[in-house]
Structure 1
Amino acid sequence: MADQSFLSWPFFEPHHREWAARVEEVAIGLEVDHGDTDAACSHLVQMLGAAGLLHPTANEAGQLDVRTLCLTREILARHNGLADFAFAMQGLGTGAISLFGTPEQKAAWLPKTRSGQAISAFALTEPQSGSDVANSTMSATLDGDHYVLRGEKTWISNGGIADVYTMFARTGEGPGSRGLSAFIVTPDLPGFEVTERLQTIAPHPLATLRFNDVRVPAQAMIGEPGEGFRIAMSVLDVFRSTVAAAALGFARRALDEALTRVGARHVQGAPLFDLQMVQGQIADMALDVDAAALLVYRAAWAKDRGAARVTREAAMAKLFATDQAQQVIDKAVQLFGGDGVRSGTTVESLYREIRALRIYEGASDVQKVVIARQTMAAHQEDGQ
């Protein structure tokens, strides 16, 4: 069993420790055939909803407990990468509704996604913009009491299987980031098209979506016109730390697998662990895991304590935890030797799972830019 001593850190309250125990209990029994990724993801959403584990992903009061979200993602990722994905997207997909939706919007969707009866998605990325959200070109033109959506989104998680999408489009209130708005879109609307299903090294439901004059009611807008960029960044400010937590879960599992391996594998009559070079590898892995955990739960704690924004803290957690998890897992693969690259083994699966986390919700290089700018801004403010 993975080290859980971190739960005694002062970042957590008793209800967090109780929740972690509950998630651990459920996660152990999440056995799903991953052969059909869409079916597996849909089934996992239903299972997580039935077990009550989706409760933290949506909140009518607009208050999401980031530590609970992070703990859940860490534990699920340690057991089942696709279960972590299913949980995360239920929160990310409806985050804008939880934080900025009207009472009617919340009543229509949050009970469904929280119970696992509906699958949600977050449609932000476009082919030409990627991490440059302010450069989005998808348009939403007001026509009477409807907006007409035209454009394309890509790399959309749960694309093709979601029941509700939070989608961002340019309504033109200003240039760049000032002209975006957020909408609730359902896939049954005429003109909504899934044009491509995207395959990746760690299978997840991903798609490219096209909006061909899709008409949505004006009341489907989340927040006010022109607030889309602020809404998107606020949602990412909450969920970026949880990406780091998922990476931490993958890293913990890799360390556990490596410890078991070097304790049981013998070389020249002695455990592999007795080799000092192996001890050095284990020490580096343990250090990276604990350092990542400190950054993850500092960011989550700060947000839960009422910080308006934790952009710098979340960026640091996401950058460090995902990059170091990649290294921890790579070390585990090396310690397993040939078995580490055998298809279907745990460390081989972790090796494929971790790579995408260094890209989505802000690639590592983008996080460095965010950290540098935030650090300079704080320095200049302190100097005044």
Structure 2
Amino acid sequence: MTAFSLEPEQLARCADLRALAADRLRPLAGKGEPGRVNRPLVAELGRLGLLRRLFTSGALDLCLMRESLAYACTEAETALALQGLGAHPVHAHGTDTQRARWLPRVSDGDAVAAFALSEPGAGSDAAALELRAEPDGPGRWRLTGEKCWISNAPEADLYTVFARTTPAAGARGVTAFLLPADRPGLTGTPLDMLSPHPIGALALDAVPVTADDVLGTPDRGFRVAMGTLNLFRPSVGAFAVGMAQAALDATLTHTARREAFGGKLRDLQTVAHQVAEMALRTEAARLMVYAAATAYDSGAPDVPGRAAMAKLLATETAQYVVDAAVQLHGARALRRGHLLEHLYREVRAPRIYEGASEVQRAVIAKELYARTAEREPSS
């Protein structure tokens, strides 16, 4: 089935990438240690030219890459996505010097990047962050505070860190900094999470930064964060669609072969209808993801709302599809090492990170009311 009228060349690239992920990336993923950066896997993504495409392709191509990788190897998908999330602010807002130093290394898979926005008390409410950037002379600050739930921490080589440069200013007083991991005063602790990739906490004790470390403009870092999320939220949806499709295909194969009640499982109307519902929701999510990505690539004004809708629908759909797949497979799907056991663990987190489902609903509502206000005549 062809979704969103993709060009034959795009469909062929997706098929090639799924095969590449199965043949070259999945074996490396299997050798990784849970909770640690799999540097051989990241390096292979670089050798294959996939990391470079993070900075040369549009949002739709990013979605197609993430969906294709997720179908065959979720670990490779996540490694690629985290490189993009952590380094995109450098690509989009960095100086020539910052880009020249870091982007080639990220693209080659030599340097691991991380996006450090969340804090113990400021996860979904990113504008409430409290990491302080205290003045230390003209164009100089000291960063003091904590970051938490940071993917690739504490093993990343560079962090995009968001800190408060103007107290009590909400989203308007935040600045984005490019912070190398070896900066004095920066330490990290791994967190034991339900995730195959590392997630950790960072402690910053008067970490020195200068104007040369700023990404974009001081006090305008929230725009850097939201611009990055507007690009990556639809692709989180693509990650979810890839997992949902993998679960759906596994279910189609299983129910066509499994003997039960004197016939195949697929012959039971309840099973057939369940599979149809899984397919329907997966395709609807895919279409919304592609539409949001296309809107981003075309510079449409409603990108924040579309991105939020895409992430919300796709991640909630993937949760439903994977859960239904487990139910139709029965106990075998819960055995350690089974594809669905793996997807069942993987599918939960995307409903939380880069803005929880509830946050996406808030964004959607805000965008809808803002659009309505623009259409209403002034009194």
TM-score normalised by the chain length of structure 2: 0.94
State the SS of the aligned residue for 2:194: coil
Question: Which sits farther off after the overlay, 256-265 or 135-144?
Answer: 135-144
Q: Which residue of 1 aligns with 2:171?
A: 177
Shift of 1:76: 0.9
1:202 to 192, 195, 212: 195
Q: 1:35 to 1:163 in 2, by over 3 A?
A: closer
Tell me the equivalent position of 1:264.
257
Letter in 1 for 2:10: H
Q: Is this contact kept in 1: 2:37–2:197, CA < 8 A?
A: no
1:281 has 2:274 as partner: yes
Shift of 1:383: 2.0
Paired letter, 1:347:
L
Residues 35 and 199, structure 2, Cα contact 8 Å, conserved in 1 = no
1:351-362 equivalences under 5 Å are: 351-362=344-355
The aligned amino acid for 1:51 is L
Tell me the SS of whatever aligns to 1:128: coil
Q: What letter is aligned with 2:197?
A: H
What's the offset of the Cα at 1:173?
Answer: 7.4
Larger mean Cα displacement after TM superposition, 197-206 or 113-122: 197-206
Residue 56 (structure 1) shift:
2.0
Kept after mapping to 2: 8 A contact 1:34/1:40: no
One of 314, 330, 343 as aligned partner of 1:337: 330
Compute the TM-score of the two structures, normalised by the length of structure 1. Answer: 0.93
Corresponding residue number in structure 2 for 1:314: 307
Is the Cα contact below 8 Å between 1:149 and 1:212 reproduced in 2?
yes
The Cα offsets for residues 73-92 of structure 1, whole Å up to 9 and x where unpaired, read as: 11111111111110001110
Which residue number in structure 2 is paired with residue 233 of structure 1?
226
Task: Report if aligned partners of 1:173, 1:225 keep a CA contact under 8 Å in 2.
Answer: no
What's the counterpart of residue 328 of structure 1? 321
Q: Structure 1 CA distance, aligned partners of 2:101 and 2:300?
A: 29
Q: Quote the Cα distance in structure 2 between the aligned partners of 1:121 and 1:52.
A: 20
Tell me if structure 1 keeps the 8 A contact 2:165–2:174.
yes
> What residue identity is the alignment partner of 1:256?
D
- The 8 Å contact of residues 159 and 205 in structure 1, kept in 2 or not, is answered as yes
Provide closer, same or farther for how the CA distance between residues 56 and 174 of structure 1 changes in structure 2, counting only shifts above 3 A. farther
Counterpart Cα distance in 2 of 1:143 and 1:202: 38
Asked if 1:293 is matched to 2:286, the reply is yes
Distance in 2 (CA, whole Å) between partners of 1:232 and 1:330 is 32
| 2:243 is equivalent to residue 250 of structure 1 | yes
Question: Partner of 2:354: helix, strand, or coil?
Answer: coil
Question: CA 1:39–1:356 in 2, change beyond 3 Å: closer, same or farther?
Answer: closer
Counterpart in 2 of 1:36? 33
Q: Is the 8 A contact 2:128 2:170 kept in 1?
A: yes
Q: What is the deviation of 1:376?
A: 1.3
- Code of the aligned partner of 2:347: I
- Match in the other structure for 1:57: 54
Pairwise CA RMSD: 1.6
**How far does the alpha carbon of each residue in 1:249-290 deviate from its partner, in whole angstroms, 9 at most, with x for none?**
000000011001001101134111000000011000000110
Gaps of 5+ in 1: none
Q: Is the 8 Å Cα contact of residues 36 and 197 (structure 2) preserved in structure 1?
A: no
Cα gap change, 1:47 to 1:357, in 2 (>3 Å) = same
Q: Name the CA distance, whole Å, in 1 between partners of 2:11 and 2:232.
A: 20
Deviation at 1:225, TM superposition (A): 0.6
1:281 partner letter:
Q
Q: Does 2:185 align with 1:191?
A: yes
1:377 to 366, 370, 374: 370
Distance (Å, rounded) in 1 between the aligned partners of 2:217 and 2:93: 9
Contact kept? 1:16, 1:67, Cα under 8 Å: no
1:122 to 2:124 alignment: no
The number of aligned residues is 373
Deviations 1:158-217 (A, max 9, x none): 0022111000001117610110000010111111111x3112223220000000111123
Partner of 1:368: 361
SS of 2:348's partner is helix
Matched with 2:160 is 166
Question: Does 1:25 find its partner at 2:19?
Answer: yes
CA change 1:15–1:271 in 2 (3 A) is closer
Secondary structure of 1:37 counterpart: coil
* Cα 1:383–1:13 shift into 2, 3 Å: farther
Of the three residues 96, 107, 121, the one matched with 2:100 is: 107
> Once the 2 structures are TM-superposed, how far is the Cα of residue 335 of structure 1 from its aligned partner?
0.6
Q: Tell me, in whole angstroms, the C-alpha distance in 1 between the residues paired with 2:206 and 2:9.
A: 47
Report matched runs for 1:119-158 at 5 Å.
119-144=112-137, 145-158=139-152
**Alpha carbons of structure 1 residues 38 and 338: separation in structure 2 relative to 1, 3 Å:** closer
Q: Aligned letter for 1:163? A: D
Deviation at 1:353, TM superposition (A): 0.3
For residue 34 of structure 1, report the CA deviation from its aligned partner: 4.8
